[in-house]
């Protein structure tokens, strides 16, 4: 079994559940374990909210064919939220 090492600073735990979930989502995205769509859905964030979070934390955006296919599927099924 493989493991993923995610580090959560203590001060984030003190800030509450949202801060911890943001950190988890960003790290999973940055490590390319989650796609952009998966990470933002973990947080229940819109595309723009997650883009802003990544920018504020200086995380490079990764976008490939899988991300595009996932976004197109979300658009077609009505799950896309601006």
**4-22 pLDDT per residue, tens:** 888 898 988 899 999 999 9
Residue 47 covered by a domain: yes
Can you give the residue range of the structural domain that contains 25?
15-77
3-state DSSP helix/strand/coil percent for the chain, to nearest 5? 60, 0, 40
Domain presence at residue 66: yes
In terms of pTM, does the model score above 0.95?
Answer: no
Count of structural domains, the chain: 1
pLDDT in tens, 25-68: 999 999 999 988 899 999 999 988 999 999 999 999 887 787 77
pLDDT of residue 79: 62
Residue 82 lies in a domain: no
Q: Is residue 65 part of a domain?
A: yes
**Does 3 fall in a domain?**
no
Domain presence at residue 6: no
């Amino acid at each position: 079994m493989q493991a993923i090492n995610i580090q959560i600073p203590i001060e984030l735990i003190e800030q509450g559940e949202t801060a911890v979930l943001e950190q988890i989502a960003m790290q999973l995205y940055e490590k390319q374990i989650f796609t952009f769509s998966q990470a933002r859905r973990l947080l229940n964030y819109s595309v723009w909210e997650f883009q802003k979070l990544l920018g504020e934390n200086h995380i490079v955006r990764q976008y490939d064919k899988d991300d595009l296919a996932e976004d197109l599927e979300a658009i077609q099924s009505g799950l896309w939220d601006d």
